[in-house]
Amino acid sequence: MACQVYRDAREQRLGYHGPGREQAEPRDLREVLIGYFGPPDARHPEGGTLWEGAQRAIEEANREGGYKGLPFRLVPAWAENPWVAGAGVLVRLIYQERVWALIGSIDGASTHLAEQVVAKARLTLINPAASDRTLHGANVPWMFSCVPGDHLQAPLLVEALGGRPFLLVSATDHDSRAFVAELKATPAFHIEFQAGSSDVSALARRVADTAPQAVVVIAGARDSARMVAALRSLGCAAPILCGPSAGRRAFLEEAGPAAEGILFPWLLEGSGGDVRDYAAAHAYDATRLAVAAIRRAGLNRARIRDAVAELSGFEGASGRISWDNLGQNTRAVRLGTIQGGRAVPASRQLSFGAIPRAFILGRAT
């Protein structure tokens, strides 16, 4: 007997229908605090560019006059092992610092944690980096994601393959596994490796020895870069397609010339200007969204949440941000590539059969 879905929550727009909107704005404030769940260090290997983007947004907002003359300030909270200490630092941030919204986090796993906390605290969370679709599976009305989801990205890679066999290499981290689940295509062979591996040469040799027609690498920015560089150093001339992490600055720095010509989901609208890291652009936009919502709603957490929802269609540095019914950005995604050491949108939607020889050899033209 076939199972029948009783109700699909995605068909109805989420809303918050509880108390809080009646609370008056406090009068004794000297600044307006916005929480930031991520490492407050521009040199951090994973989160540095996000901090830079969020800080830039705050600086601009304060040059514009802040909120009724009060300056905005980002208040960071972070733990390198979020599942051990993250909940505690978030609770202190939300209940002791009394932030009005929260930006975070730098990956899907830590954003899942933040989502659980804000659901109970009734505080708006704007996610700048994680594209994991399951973040919105719990139907939390306080959760918004600026990045288009994996379900909008993964089909592009499948389409580019054009039905040809491919070898999938993926890391064991949360975000990589979430993306692989959305590929909806069966690889000829799937190899999984430990995230954070410093030496992938043996694994790359194993991949190259199979003489694959195409390779799909799904991993974090530095893990993907190490794998791509190792494959190219072994003379692997197959087309290489990557996940969205190839649009991060860390990927470009680690992969170097080996990244030329790879294909990946381009998460910026248009050319993206001179942005070298999609996560930085989305962190900037997430913070600008929080600022805009506070200016529209005033200092009231429930009304700030309403304002973020109403700001659907917001034009940011990353492009248009329009929420679906569950609060995830619906912006269309296209293919990108690395050309001249920069991440840029591909000139057209490519399929495997139409990938020029320059792409196959790792030299985009």
Contacts of 101 (CB under 8 A, 6+ apart): 34, 35, 123, 124, 125, 126, 290, 293, 294, 301, 304, 308
At 281-340, the pLDDT tens digits run 999 999 999 999 999 999 999 999 999 999 999 999 999 999 999 999 999 999 999 999
Domain 9-148+275-321, CATH class in plain words: alpha beta
At 15-33, the pLDDT tens digits run 999 999 999 999 999 999 9
Q: How confident is the model at residue 354 (pLDDT cuts 50, 70, 90)?
A: very low
Contact indicator for 336, 348 with CB cutoff of 8 Å = no
Structure tokens at 309: 């929802």
Contacts of 305 (CB under 8 A, 6+ apart): 16, 122, 124, 141, 142, 293
In this structure, which amino acid lies at residue 80? Answer: E
Per-residue confidence (pLDDT) for residue 357, from 0 to 100 = 42
| Whether pLDDT at 344 is above 80 | yes
Q: Could you tell me the fold of the domain covering 150-266+333-360?
A: Rossmann fold (3.40.50)
Please tell me if the domain spanning 9-148+275-321 has the same topology as the one spanning 150-266+333-360: yes
Show the beta-strand stretches assigned E in the chain. Answer: 32-37, 72-77, 102-104, 125-127, 143-145, 167-171, 189-193, 215-218, 240-242, 263-266, 314-316, 319-321, 334-339, 342-345
Domain ranges of the chain: 9-148+275-321, 150-266+333-360
At 74-130, the pLDDT tens digits run 999 999 888 888 899 999 999 999 999 999 999 999 999 999 999 999 999 999 999
